Structure 1
Amino acid sequence: MKAIVQRVTRASVTVGGEQISSIGRGLCVLLGLSVEDTQKELEHIVRKILNLRVFEDESGKQWSKSVMDQQYEVLCVSQFTLHCILKGNKPDYHMAMPTEQAETFYNSFLEHLRKAYKPEFVKDGKFGAYMQVHIQNDGPVTIELESPLAPIDSKQMFCY
Protein backbone atom coordinates (compact mmCIF):
# COMPACT_ATOMS: atom_id res chain seq x y z
CA MET A 1 0.00 0.00 0.00
CA LYS A 2 1.29 3.43 -0.92
CA ALA A 3 0.00 6.80 0.16
CA ILE A 4 1.07 10.21 -1.08
CA VAL A 5 0.11 12.57 1.74
CA GLN A 6 -0.01 16.29 1.08
CA ARG A 7 -0.54 18.98 3.68
CA VAL A 8 -3.15 21.29 2.17
CA THR A 9 -4.90 24.55 2.85
CA ARG A 10 -7.80 23.12 0.85
CA ALA A 11 -8.56 20.28 -1.56
CA SER A 12 -11.55 19.07 -3.54
CA VAL A 13 -12.69 16.38 -5.96
CA THR A 14 -14.80 17.04 -9.03
CA VAL A 15 -16.49 14.37 -11.15
CA GLY A 16 -18.23 15.28 -14.39
CA GLY A 17 -18.00 18.98 -13.64
CA GLU A 18 -19.67 18.60 -10.22
CA GLN A 19 -17.72 19.02 -6.98
CA ILE A 20 -18.45 15.93 -4.90
CA SER A 21 -16.13 16.49 -1.95
CA SER A 22 -13.97 19.18 -0.39
CA ILE A 23 -11.96 19.97 2.72
CA GLY A 24 -10.29 22.98 4.28
CA ARG A 25 -6.95 22.73 6.06
CA GLY A 26 -5.72 19.18 6.49
CA LEU A 27 -4.35 16.28 4.47
CA CYS A 28 -5.05 15.06 0.97
CA VAL A 29 -4.22 11.36 0.67
CA LEU A 30 -3.70 9.67 -2.69
CA LEU A 31 -3.93 5.94 -1.93
CA GLY A 32 -2.64 3.09 -4.07
CA LEU A 33 -3.59 -0.48 -3.24
CA SER A 34 -1.29 -3.38 -4.12
CA VAL A 35 -2.19 -6.97 -4.91
CA GLU A 36 -0.18 -7.93 -1.80
CA ASP A 37 -2.00 -5.67 0.69
CA THR A 38 -3.64 -7.13 3.77
CA GLN A 39 -5.51 -5.82 6.79
CA LYS A 40 -2.16 -5.37 8.53
CA GLU A 41 -0.94 -2.89 5.88
CA LEU A 42 -4.26 -1.08 5.99
CA GLU A 43 -4.07 -0.56 9.76
CA HIS A 44 -0.43 0.57 9.50
CA ILE A 45 -1.19 3.23 6.87
CA VAL A 46 -4.24 4.54 8.75
CA ARG A 47 -2.13 4.91 11.91
CA LYS A 48 0.67 6.67 10.00
CA ILE A 49 -1.66 9.11 8.22
CA LEU A 50 -3.47 10.15 11.36
CA ASN A 51 -0.31 10.51 13.47
CA LEU A 52 1.97 12.12 10.89
CA ARG A 53 3.32 15.30 12.47
CA VAL A 54 3.30 17.85 9.65
CA PHE A 55 1.50 20.75 11.33
CA GLU A 56 2.73 23.48 13.65
CA ASP A 57 1.63 23.84 17.26
CA GLU A 58 0.00 26.87 18.87
CA SER A 59 3.38 28.56 19.40
CA GLY A 60 4.34 28.08 15.73
CA LYS A 61 6.75 25.17 16.26
CA GLN A 62 6.85 23.24 12.96
CA TRP A 63 6.45 19.45 12.60
CA SER A 64 4.90 18.93 16.02
CA LYS A 65 1.17 18.24 15.52
CA SER A 66 -0.88 15.68 13.60
CA VAL A 67 -4.11 16.14 11.69
CA MET A 68 -5.92 14.67 14.72
CA ASP A 69 -4.16 17.00 17.16
CA GLN A 70 -5.31 20.01 15.14
CA GLN A 71 -8.79 18.65 14.33
CA TYR A 72 -8.21 19.14 10.58
CA GLU A 73 -9.85 17.24 7.72
CA VAL A 74 -8.65 14.40 5.48
CA LEU A 75 -9.57 13.94 1.81
CA CYS A 76 -8.83 10.46 0.42
CA VAL A 77 -8.59 9.60 -3.27
CA SER A 78 -8.07 6.07 -4.59
CA GLN A 79 -5.22 6.07 -7.13
CA PHE A 80 -4.16 2.74 -8.64
CA THR A 81 -1.47 4.47 -10.73
CA LEU A 82 0.76 4.66 -7.64
CA HIS A 83 1.57 0.99 -8.31
CA CYS A 84 2.82 1.65 -11.82
CA ILE A 85 5.86 -0.18 -13.12
CA LEU A 86 7.35 1.21 -16.32
CA LYS A 87 8.06 -1.24 -19.15
CA GLY A 88 10.14 1.11 -21.28
CA ASN A 89 7.81 4.08 -21.56
CA LYS A 90 4.58 2.14 -21.08
CA PRO A 91 2.96 2.00 -17.63
CA ASP A 92 2.11 -1.45 -16.32
CA TYR A 93 -0.35 -1.78 -13.46
CA HIS A 94 -0.25 -5.52 -12.72
CA MET A 95 0.90 -4.79 -9.12
CA ALA A 96 -2.23 -2.71 -8.43
CA MET A 97 -5.08 -4.49 -6.70
CA PRO A 98 -7.82 -5.55 -9.21
CA THR A 99 -10.83 -3.21 -9.27
CA GLU A 100 -13.35 -5.68 -7.82
CA GLN A 101 -11.19 -6.41 -4.78
CA ALA A 102 -9.82 -2.85 -4.51
CA GLU A 103 -13.19 -1.15 -4.07
CA THR A 104 -14.06 -3.29 -1.04
CA PHE A 105 -10.56 -2.84 0.39
CA TYR A 106 -10.63 0.94 -0.19
CA ASN A 107 -14.01 1.19 1.56
CA SER A 108 -12.55 -0.77 4.47
CA PHE A 109 -9.65 1.72 4.58
CA LEU A 110 -12.12 4.63 4.75
CA GLU A 111 -14.11 2.86 7.47
CA HIS A 112 -10.97 2.32 9.57
CA LEU A 113 -9.88 5.92 9.08
CA ARG A 114 -13.31 7.19 10.15
CA LYS A 115 -13.42 4.91 13.21
CA ALA A 116 -9.93 5.97 14.28
CA TYR A 117 -10.69 9.68 13.84
CA LYS A 118 -13.92 11.63 13.35
CA PRO A 119 -16.16 10.34 10.54
CA GLU A 120 -17.31 13.84 9.58
CA PHE A 121 -13.67 14.93 9.06
CA VAL A 122 -12.87 12.15 6.55
CA LYS A 123 -14.01 12.80 2.97
CA ASP A 124 -13.31 10.90 -0.23
CA GLY A 125 -13.54 10.97 -4.00
CA LYS A 126 -15.55 8.51 -6.08
CA PHE A 127 -13.91 5.12 -6.47
CA GLY A 128 -13.25 4.21 -10.11
CA ALA A 129 -14.44 7.54 -11.48
CA TYR A 130 -12.49 9.91 -13.68
CA MET A 131 -11.80 12.68 -11.17
CA GLN A 132 -10.22 16.09 -11.10
CA VAL A 133 -8.43 16.53 -7.79
CA HIS A 134 -7.75 20.13 -6.85
CA ILE A 135 -4.99 20.36 -4.25
CA GLN A 136 -3.64 23.53 -2.73
CA ASN A 137 -0.46 22.13 -1.22
CA ASP A 138 0.67 23.96 1.91
CA GLY A 139 4.42 24.43 2.14
CA PRO A 140 4.65 22.49 -0.14
CA VAL A 141 4.67 19.42 2.06
CA THR A 142 4.36 16.02 0.37
CA ILE A 143 5.24 12.76 2.11
CA GLU A 144 5.24 9.27 0.65
CA LEU A 145 4.16 6.47 2.96
CA GLU A 146 4.55 2.82 2.17
CA SER A 147 3.31 -0.05 4.27
CA PRO A 148 5.87 -2.62 5.33
CA LEU A 149 5.52 -5.89 3.50
CA ALA A 150 4.97 -9.07 5.46
CA PRO A 151 8.24 -10.64 6.64
CA ILE A 152 9.72 -13.08 4.14
CA ASP A 153 10.43 -16.58 5.37
CA SER A 154 14.17 -17.06 4.75
CA LYS A 155 13.52 -20.70 3.76
CA GLN A 156 11.45 -19.45 0.81
CA MET A 157 14.25 -17.19 -0.46
CA PHE A 158 16.33 -20.04 -1.87
CA CYS A 159 15.43 -22.55 -4.54
CA TYR A 160 17.12 -25.94 -4.33
Structure 2
Amino acid sequence: MKIIIQRVNRAKMLVNGNFKCEIGKGIVAYIGITHDDEIKDINYCIDKLINLRIFDDNDGKMNLSIQDIKGELLIVSNFTIYGNTKKGRRPDYLNSAPAERAREIYNLFLEKLFETRVSFGTGEFQEHMEIYSENNGPVNLIIES
Protein backbone atom coordinates (compact mmCIF):
# COMPACT_ATOMS: atom_id res chain seq x y z
CA MET A 1 0.00 0.00 0.00
CA LYS A 2 1.24 3.43 -0.88
CA ILE A 3 -0.36 6.72 0.16
CA ILE A 4 0.56 10.12 -1.22
CA ILE A 5 -0.48 12.76 1.29
CA GLN A 6 -0.87 16.51 0.89
CA ARG A 7 -1.36 18.88 3.80
CA VAL A 8 -4.20 21.23 2.90
CA ASN A 9 -6.13 24.20 4.21
CA ARG A 10 -9.25 22.85 2.52
CA ALA A 11 -10.31 20.48 -0.25
CA LYS A 12 -13.45 19.37 -2.01
CA MET A 13 -14.36 16.52 -4.29
CA LEU A 14 -16.76 16.03 -7.16
CA VAL A 15 -17.65 12.54 -8.40
CA ASN A 16 -18.82 12.32 -12.00
CA GLY A 17 -19.32 16.09 -11.94
CA ASN A 18 -21.47 16.12 -8.79
CA PHE A 19 -20.41 17.50 -5.40
CA LYS A 20 -19.49 14.65 -3.05
CA CYS A 21 -17.72 16.08 0.02
CA GLU A 22 -15.35 18.70 1.37
CA ILE A 23 -12.93 19.07 4.24
CA GLY A 24 -11.31 21.92 6.10
CA LYS A 25 -7.75 21.88 7.41
CA GLY A 26 -6.26 18.42 7.06
CA ILE A 27 -4.85 15.93 4.59
CA VAL A 28 -5.78 14.75 1.12
CA ALA A 29 -4.65 11.11 0.95
CA TYR A 30 -4.35 9.29 -2.39
CA ILE A 31 -4.43 5.54 -1.71
CA GLY A 32 -2.70 3.06 -4.03
CA ILE A 33 -3.22 -0.66 -3.51
CA THR A 34 -0.94 -3.40 -4.78
CA HIS A 35 -1.36 -7.18 -5.13
CA ASP A 36 -0.19 -8.36 -1.72
CA ASP A 37 -1.74 -5.70 0.52
CA GLU A 38 -3.58 -7.06 3.55
CA ILE A 39 -4.78 -5.99 6.99
CA LYS A 40 -1.25 -5.39 8.35
CA ASP A 41 -0.64 -2.89 5.53
CA ILE A 42 -3.92 -1.15 6.25
CA ASN A 43 -3.19 -0.90 9.97
CA TYR A 44 0.35 0.38 9.39
CA CYS A 45 -0.76 3.03 6.89
CA ILE A 46 -3.69 4.25 8.99
CA ASP A 47 -1.47 4.53 12.05
CA LYS A 48 1.05 6.61 10.07
CA LEU A 49 -1.66 8.72 8.45
CA ILE A 50 -3.36 9.76 11.67
CA ASN A 51 -0.22 10.10 13.81
CA LEU A 52 2.27 11.67 11.41
CA ARG A 53 3.29 15.03 12.87
CA ILE A 54 3.07 17.38 9.90
CA PHE A 55 1.07 20.28 11.34
CA ASP A 56 2.64 23.29 13.03
CA ASP A 57 2.59 23.77 16.78
CA ASN A 58 2.59 27.22 18.44
CA ASP A 59 6.33 27.54 17.73
CA GLY A 60 5.88 26.89 14.00
CA LYS A 61 7.42 23.40 14.16
CA MET A 62 5.78 20.40 12.54
CA ASN A 63 4.89 18.68 15.79
CA LEU A 64 1.16 17.97 15.59
CA SER A 65 -0.84 15.18 13.97
CA ILE A 66 -4.23 15.29 12.25
CA GLN A 67 -5.70 14.04 15.53
CA ASP A 68 -3.98 16.79 17.55
CA ILE A 69 -5.47 19.55 15.40
CA LYS A 70 -8.84 17.79 15.02
CA GLY A 71 -8.31 18.00 11.26
CA GLU A 72 -10.05 16.12 8.49
CA LEU A 73 -9.04 13.63 5.82
CA LEU A 74 -10.10 13.36 2.21
CA ILE A 75 -9.46 9.77 1.08
CA VAL A 76 -9.07 9.13 -2.65
CA SER A 77 -8.62 5.70 -4.27
CA ASN A 78 -5.96 6.01 -6.96
CA PHE A 79 -4.60 3.00 -8.88
CA THR A 80 -2.19 5.20 -10.87
CA ILE A 81 0.07 5.50 -7.80
CA TYR A 82 1.49 2.10 -8.77
CA GLY A 83 1.96 3.15 -12.39
CA ASN A 84 5.36 2.24 -13.81
CA THR A 85 6.89 4.84 -16.14
CA LYS A 86 10.35 3.29 -16.61
CA LYS A 87 9.78 1.89 -20.10
CA GLY A 88 8.18 3.62 -23.03
CA ARG A 89 5.85 6.59 -22.89
CA ARG A 90 2.71 4.90 -21.59
CA PRO A 91 2.66 3.82 -17.93
CA ASP A 92 1.77 0.25 -17.09
CA TYR A 93 -0.28 -0.56 -14.04
CA LEU A 94 0.85 -4.14 -13.47
CA ASN A 95 1.77 -3.37 -9.86
CA SER A 96 -1.75 -2.13 -9.07
CA ALA A 97 -4.10 -4.70 -7.56
CA PRO A 98 -6.95 -5.88 -9.79
CA ALA A 99 -10.08 -3.77 -9.28
CA GLU A 100 -12.08 -6.38 -7.34
CA ARG A 101 -9.24 -7.00 -4.86
CA ALA A 102 -8.41 -3.29 -4.60
CA ARG A 103 -12.05 -2.44 -3.84
CA GLU A 104 -12.08 -5.02 -1.03
CA ILE A 105 -8.88 -3.61 0.53
CA TYR A 106 -10.01 0.00 0.04
CA ASN A 107 -13.35 -0.66 1.76
CA LEU A 108 -11.57 -2.38 4.63
CA PHE A 109 -9.24 0.63 4.87
CA LEU A 110 -12.28 2.92 5.21
CA GLU A 111 -13.85 0.66 7.86
CA LYS A 112 -10.64 0.67 9.91
CA LEU A 113 -10.22 4.43 9.46
CA PHE A 114 -13.78 4.98 10.71
CA GLU A 115 -12.82 3.21 13.95
CA THR A 116 -10.20 5.92 14.65
CA ARG A 117 -12.91 8.60 14.86
CA VAL A 118 -10.86 10.94 12.66
CA SER A 119 -13.29 12.86 10.45
CA PHE A 120 -13.01 11.97 6.76
CA GLY A 121 -14.72 12.16 3.42
CA THR A 122 -14.13 9.89 0.47
CA GLY A 123 -14.89 9.52 -3.19
CA GLU A 124 -16.29 6.52 -4.99
CA PHE A 125 -14.14 3.63 -6.09
CA GLN A 126 -13.58 3.39 -9.88
CA GLU A 127 -15.42 6.64 -10.57
CA HIS A 128 -14.13 9.85 -12.11
CA MET A 129 -13.22 12.30 -9.36
CA GLU A 130 -12.19 15.93 -9.41
CA ILE A 131 -10.30 17.12 -6.35
CA TYR A 132 -9.85 20.80 -5.64
CA SER A 133 -7.41 21.55 -2.87
CA GLU A 134 -5.52 24.42 -1.34
CA ASN A 135 -2.13 23.04 -0.36
CA ASN A 136 -0.53 24.25 2.85
CA GLY A 137 3.26 24.45 2.75
CA PRO A 138 3.33 22.67 0.42
CA VAL A 139 3.84 19.49 2.42
CA ASN A 140 3.64 16.29 0.37
CA LEU A 141 4.82 12.93 1.68
CA ILE A 142 4.60 9.24 0.80
CA ILE A 143 3.55 6.55 3.27
CA GLU A 144 4.41 3.04 2.13
CA SER A 145 3.84 -0.25 3.94
TM range (shorter): over 0.9
Q: Which residue in 2 is equivalent to 1:140?
A: 138
**Contact 1:12–1:135 at 8 Å: present in 2 too?**
yes
* Secondary structure of the structure 2 residue equivalent to 1:136: strand
Query: CA separation in 2, counterparts of 1:101 and 1:16?
Result: 23
State the identity %.
37
Partner secondary structure for residue 3 of structure 1 = strand
Note the alpha carbon deviations across 1:39-97, whole angstroms, 9 max, x for none.
1111100000000101112x233210000011110010000000011231111111101
Counting only pairs closer than 5 Å after superposition, residues 42-61 of structure 1 correspond to structure 2 as 42-57=42-57, 59-61=58-60
AA at the equivalent of 1:125: G
Answer whether contact 1:4 1:145 (CA < 8 A) is retained: yes
Give the distance between the partners of 1:117 and 1:68, measured in 2 at CA: 9
Can you list the C-alpha shifts for 1:129-155, whole angstroms capped at 9, x where unaligned? 0111112110111011111xxxxxxxx
Residues of 1 paired with 2:43 and 2:102: CA distance?
16
If asked which structure has higher relative contact order (CA below 8 Å, sep 6+), I would say 2
Matched with 1:152 is none
Alignment of 1:11-160 (within 5 A): 11-57=11-57, 59-86=58-85, 87-118=87-118, 121-147=119-145
Deviation of residue 21 (structure 1)? Answer: 1.1
> Is contact 1:68–1:117 with CA below 8 Å preserved after alignment?
no
Give 1 or 2: higher helix fraction.
Answer: 1
Choose 1 or 2 for highest CA Rg: 1
Displaced runs of 4+ in structure 1, greater than 6 A? none
Q: Tell me how far apart the structure 2 counterparts of residues 76 and 139 of structure 1 sit (CA, whole Å).
A: 19
Structure 1: which 5+ runs fail to align? Answer: 148-160
TM-score normalised according to structure 1 size:
0.86
Q: CA deviation at 1:126?
A: 1.1
Larger CA deviation: 68-77 vs 16-25: 16-25
Task: Provide the alpha-carbon RMSD of the alignment.
Answer: 1.0
